[in-house]
Structures are given as structure tokens and as C-alpha cells.
Structure 1
Amino acid sequence: MSSTIAGIGVLQAVVYLLFIRAVDLYEREPLSYVVAVFVWGFTVAVFVSVVFESILQYTLGVMTSARFAHALTAVLGAPVIEECAKGAALFLVFLFSLLLARSRGEMEFSGVMDGIVYGSAVGFGFSLAEDLLYYVQFGPETFVVRRIFGGFGHAAFTSLTGVGIGLVPWVRTLPAKVALPLLGLVGAMLLHAAFNLTATLFGALAYAFLFLVVLAYLVLIILWLAFERRVIRQELCEEARTGTIDPREYPLMPTYFRRKLHYARLLSRGRFGHWRTDRRVHAAAVDLAFTKRLARRSGDPARRERVERLRERILQLRGVSVGEPEGL
């Protein structure tokens, strides 16, 4: 029975992970990156947190009572240690993405949604490992309650760090590039500390606070997806006028579900070649839209060069075989 409960908890974390990646409608992050930060959260971040929190609590316990030392560690120490341990994975992924961008010209970690995906992934891994430790200490009831009510907690906290890092490519000045990740990390620490303080003082009432945090997290996702849709519509309007994008295909680009319906129609009619080409054209067009916006915001010459390469790629793909949008 106990192994079944633990197995369901693991399955829940995997479902959460796949869900948050799927919510990134327009430019999904590589699954290998997402899994890597999840594993970091489950292993490295938890190990580092347990070691340093144990040292801190022992040190404070020498100077004060064990109960007060535990409370101080939970409210002041744990948020700093855990958010730094989780945030380290996001900084590493960003640096790796930056190195690849210099060779390929393609930045995998850019924008609010990317930060939310990676921040959530490392948070899901950390939360699962932490809850399994609680299972061993306090039994299945505690594990089930934490899984049901707190599964998105660490994801929401660390997403703030991810958002700060994800906005770095969108700003030009060095002070802003340094300040945004730090502000995101501090925000994650403060939100985490507020939750732990509420839990310390009011117990289960902390989950009501966490509900509001997760609600804000979901609203942020919805708002950024709406922003991305607007960017696609605005940036590709010019491309449709100049002929890079087929004007008949342009209405498909900003709407994820219309594109999926279009692909389903092609598959149902056995037009597999058109299906493959259209998917590539549309993916390159969405990439072009975001790259154009980033090129203007960042002023990076490499991004302007990538804009031209993407235009050439779209024209080449369309020249090979262009699937005509249906039902428009």
C-alpha cells in the first residue's frame, strides 16, 4: 500500500511536468532540458538543501532552543538555501543555452514562459523528493496532503527566478541583465519565506496562501501566452505582405489550436508530406516572429542575422512543398 501511494505521487509529478511543458504552446522547450532540471531538483537541490539546513539548524540550536532554531531555519534559512539550490539549475541551463546560441543563433531559454517551464520543472523535482522524505518521517497521510495541496508550491516559487532569467535576452543594458535574475531570485525567496512563516504560525492555513500563489502563477501563464500570440500576429503581418508567409496561412500562425486542427485535417486526408512541411514552415515562422521582436529589443546583430536566415529557411521550405491551408 505504501509503495502504491509513493508511486502515485511520482506519477503525479511526471504528469505535472508534462503538463507545464505542454502549456508552452508556441515554442516548447527541449524535453531533455526539462527532464535535466527536474532531476536536478530531485537530487542535487534536495541534497544541498538538506546538508546546509541541517548545519544551520544545528548551529542555531547551540545558541537557542531547538524549537526556535527549527522555526528560524524554516522561515529564514530554508527559503534562501532551497531557492539558491533550485535556481542554480536554471542559471546553468541559461548559460548552456547562451553558449549554444552563439554557435547556432538559437536561444532556447528566453521569455517568461521558458522561465516558468524550467522553474516549475526543478520545483516539481524538488517537491517530490521533499515529500518522499516527509513520507519516511511522518507517514503516508502527510505525504498525501502535501502532494494534493502543495504540489505546485515549489514550482510557483522558483518560477519567479526563471522569469527573471528568461527576461535577460529582452533587455539591452548590463545592469538590467544582472538585476532581473537577482530580483526574480529574491522574489522567490520572499514568497517561499511567506509561505513557511504562514505554515509555522497557522499550520494548514498556509495552503490557502499557497492557493493564491498558484492562482497568480496561472494568471501569469495566461497573460504571457496572450502576449506571445500578439507578438506572432504583429511580427508576421509584415512577412505575409512581403510574401515570406503565405497570406492564406497567416491566420493560422497566432492560434495554436487552429494550427493543430489544420494538421489533423492534412493527416486525415493522407497528405503526410504537406503535414511535415507545414509543421516546419509554421515552427520557423513562429521562431521568426519571436526572433524579430528580440532583435529589436536587444539590438543584437546576431539576432538580425538569424531573422534573415529564418526567412530564407521558410522560403526554401515553401519552395519544396507548400501545403495549402484548408478551411480558411
Structure 2
Amino acid sequence: MLFFFPSSRGSFFSFLEKQKSFSALSCLALLFFPLAIFATPPPPITQAQQILSLKEEEAQQHLPIQIQGVVTAADPSWNGQFFIQDSSAGVFVDSRVQPIPTPGTLLRVTGVTEPGAFAPIVGRPLWKAVGSSSLPPAKSVSIEQLVTGSEDGQRVQVQGWVHSARKEAGQWILALVEGSSRVDLMLPRNFEPPISKFLGAKISTAGVPTPKRMNYNLRRLVSVQLWLSSSDDLRLIQPASPDPRSSPPTPIRSITQYSIDNSPGRRFLIQGIVTFHSGDTLYLSDATGGLEVRLAEEIAPKIGDEIEVVGFPIVERGLPILVDAIFSPTGNQGKV
């Protein structure tokens, strides 16, 4: 073995000091190296609220999760995904296992945190049914609060006026409106609602809000839908006003003027000539004035046709507008 010594005495002692420092650092490294390898993993998250409280970068760390709660929303179109709620909050579970658990099933779920498209979620889940439970009490919120996204995944109760009803892929969807805010109610797939009873009525309902449209790049919510687990979640508060088609059309000039019968759920029948049409928006004209009409569905009446529309009046920029309107031709075409 070869040894190398410094040429001078001062250098020799300096060399020894460096060797001591190096040896001390080496010992410390050897002492803590096994701890780095065998570090204890973080304890699992056991409450849904803890998951939702994570920032995006924290949720990306795939922290372990062990929670137990009741399924509050699930649908066959979700490919196995569902929402679960415990005593602290509700959270989305990105499961791909079929068949999906039904609302009211009590589950024990393990997985890891993931940031999700909008809010933190349970990723890589494994779940096991451990019983059944009643759904948690619904928190009363406004539709305006709902569309902020702060109640995403929570079982909530809202009320408003039913403006429209449509059926898509075998499922009825009601548009519920409160002031300038609205949400789509996704009714249970096996439920056939009495549309004439609900259209224009004020109702209360409970369900779980989920994003309808998203800006995925910015992780921002654009619109919301509320999923109902049972038809029992629908409750009539105020019946709809009489169908306006049983009375003569209202002159355009009279829309939003004072009437003792006015209410947020009142519909109006308007008859006029189509002067403009683009997408779901058209303009009507009668002998008293003109009116912007926003249709419940995109259709194609021709400019110059005389039509009747039934819809709900709102005011924007000081002018009346008829929204969620449905139309029918009068048979008189090409008036312009």
C-alpha cells in the first residue's frame, strides 16, 4: 500500500485535519444512509376533506388514502367512476371496475391522491362494499354558489324554476334556473317525469354537482350539472302557472311590464315574424316592437316566417329577452 505525505510539517497537520473532517462526514453519511432507504411512508389520508384540501402539486405526490363512506352518485356512462362521501366531505373516485356501486352502498376505499381535472381525487382505487347506508344530509346552497365549483362532489340541495326539459341518451335533463344562474338536473335514467307538472314550476332537489364543461388547460369550471340518485329527491314548491297557449299571444311591448300575475316562473306566448336567425337565437317582430328570443334547442325557422314562441322573460342591458323558448309555426310563411 502506498502513502503520500505532504512535504512540510504545516501541510502535514493541515492534511490530517482534512482527513478527520472527511472521516466524520463519511461516518455521518453511513449513519443516515439506511434511514433514507428505509424511510417510513406517510400515514394514509383517512378523510375526504383532507384530500380536497391538497394543492395541485401536493396531490401529484400520490399520497396514500384509506377512507370509508357512502356512494352518493354513480352512472353507467361514467365507466365505473363514482362519488363517495364520509362525515367530512365528498370526493371523486376514479375507479374503472364494473359493475359500479350504487348510491347508498357503504364502501371502504384505498388509493392515492391525484390532482384530477378540477379538484383532487382518489386515484388507483381499490374498493370493497362493507354494507349500506342512507345518503348524507344535503347541504342547502344557492345555484349561484353551485356554479362556482366550491361544492363539487358534495351532496347539496338547491331550488329554482324549471325552464326546460329534454331527453338525451334515454335520460331526462331539466334546466333549473335561479336569477341569472342555472344548472342542469340529471334525472335517474329509469325515471319518466311528468314534464307538464314540472315545466315552469318551482322545485327543490338534492344531488351531487359535477363539472359539465371545463377549461382543462386552466383547470376552470365553465358550467355545472347536478346528478340525482332518486326521483324522491324532487319536491314541488310552487306549481307552474297555466300554459300560456290557452290564451291569446302577448304583445311584445307588454313583456316585463307590470302585471299582478308576474313571477319568475311565468311563461309568455309571443307571435311574430322572424327577422333574424343564427344558431339558437332569433329576433321576432310584431306590430308593437321587436324581441330577442333564445331557443331551448337549435332549429331553423326561415326569415320571414310567422311563428309562435313560448318562453321565460329576462332583462339584459335594460331590454327584455325570451329564453328557453320553444317555437311552432303558425302556417303563415314569407311575411317579410
TM-score bracket for the superposition, by shorter chain length: under 0.3
Q: Write 1 or 2 for the structure with the bigger share of helix.
A: 1
Tell me: higher relative CO, structure 1 or 2? Use CA pairs within 8 A at least 6 residues apart. 1
Q: Write 1 or 2 for the structure with the bigger share of strand.
A: 2
TM-score normalised over the length of structure 2: 0.23
TM-score normalised over the length of structure 1: 0.23
